[in-house]
Amino acid sequence: MRDNWYQRCSFLGSTFALITTVNEEGETNIGPYQLSFPFEVNTRRSWMVISRNTSNTATNVYRTLKCALNFIEYDKDQIETVLKFGYPGQTVAEKMAYNTFKLIDSPTPGRGPSDIYPQILAEAYQVYECTLDIDRINENPILRDSPSAHLLL
């Protein structure tokens, strides 16, 4: 077994989201997540993202309680950028140096530029603007006590 065994040792055909969050300086960060999926569909609508507890995304979401899941179409020219976004520990400035996506303000009323609402990707065909359900995470020991971040959005 290795770190990220699911990425090195198996094929899981599924979508991924480019998740935008806001860092402590108010800048939008972008991180790719394949471990993101619908969690509840009947009485509530929620999404689950599983991440390293120390990732920029998890750190930013725990602080602001906000993120946006940006879904993009396959574009061979942008795959290298998406892969580079996944390197742990990069600053926003480092990512923006090679970023090929256009960040725009949300068109959702009340979610304009701020220090908690991230920008979204202009190229996304679908965006979910989310709030972390911290109360439900804290009520569930599986989610709360995991060594991974289980972001119930």
pLDDT of residue 3: 62
pLDDT band (50, 70, 90) for residue 13: low
Pick the residue with more confidence: 61 or 43? 61
- With 80 as the cut, is the pLDDT of residue 134 above it? yes
Tell me the percentage of the chain whose pLDDT exceeds 90. Answer: 68
Q: DSSP assignment of 59-112, as one string? A: HHHHHHSEEEEEE----GGGHHHHHHHTSTT--HHHHHTT--SPEE---STT-S
pLDDT of residue 87: 86
pLDDT of residue 145: 96
- With 70 as the cut, is the pLDDT of residue 12 above it? no
Q: To the nearest whole number, what is the mean pLDDT of the chain?
A: 89
pLDDT of residue 109: 92
Q: Indicate the DSSP class of residue 119.
A: P
Q: Are 81 and 18 in contact (CB under 8 A)?
A: no
Average pLDDT over residues 108-124: 92
